[in-house]
Amino acid sequence: MAEDLQSLIDRIQKDAVGKAETEAQAIIAKAKAQAAEIIKSAETEARTKLEKADTEAKAFEERSERTLEQAARDLLLTIGKNLEKMLFDILSLEVEKSLSEDTIKAMLLTLSKSYASDDVAVVFSDADAKKLASFITGEFSKMLSRGAMVESDSSVRFGFRVKLDGGKVTQEFTKEAMAEALSALLRPQLAKIVSHAAQGK
C-alpha cells in the first residue's frame, strides 16, 4: 500500500515536472519567437529609415547641385551682361571720338549714292545741324535727285539719322546705333570667352 502510494506520488510528480517542463519549453519557444519577431521588425524599420534617409540625402544633394548650377548660370549671365555693357560703353566712346565732322560728311556722301528717295532728311543734334546745314543743302543735295532737308533732334547727341519717304524709313548712324552694331559683332566671341571661363579653360 505504501509502495502504491509512493508510486502514485512519484508518477504525479513526474507528470507535473514533465508538464512544467513542456510548458516552460513552450513559453521559452514563444518568447524566442516573439524576440525574433521584434528583432526582425526592428531591423526592417531601421532598414526602411536608413533607405528613406539615404533617398532624402540624395534628393537634397541633387537639389543643392541644381541650385548651385543655377547660381553659377546666373552669375555668368550677370558677368556677361556687365562685360557686354562695358564693351558697349567703350565702343560708344570710340565711335564718338571717330565721328568727326569730316567723317560724317564722307559717310553721307557715300550713302547718297544708294538713295533713290525724293524725300530725304538728315537729323543731327542741334549743334551739328548748325555746323552741317550748308553741307547738306549744298554738296550732299547735289548727289541726290532732289535736295535734302536738315532737322535737329535732342535725342541725337553724336552722329545722325537719315529719314526717307517722309520718315517712313529711317537709318540710324548715331553713336548708340553704331556701338550696338559693333557690339553685336563681338557678342558671339564674348559668349565664347565667358563659356571657356566657365569651363575653366
pLDDT at res. 125: 87
Alpha-carbon gap, residue 20 to 119, rounded angstroms: 124
Question: Inter-axis angle of helices 126-135 and 101-112, to 10 degrees?
Answer: 60
3 confidence band (pLDDT: 50, 70, 90): low
CA-based torsion, 188, 194, 199, 200: positive or negative: positive
Cα 150 versus chain centre, distance: 46
Give 7-39 pLDDT, tens digit per residue: 766 676 666 666 767 776 777 778 777 877 877
Q: What is the share, in percent, of the chain residues with pLDDT greater than 90?
A: 0
pTM, rounded to two decimals: 0.48
- Supply φ then ψ for residue 169, to 5 degrees: -125, 130
Q: Which residue has the cell 526592428?
A: 42
Burial 33-47 (b: 16+ CB within 10 A, else e): eeeeeeeeeeeeeee
Give 45-85 pLDDT, tens digit per residue: 778 887 887 788 787 777 877 877 776 676 666 766 666 66
Which string of DSSP letters, residue by residue, matches 130-147?
A: HHHHHHIIIIIHHHSSS-
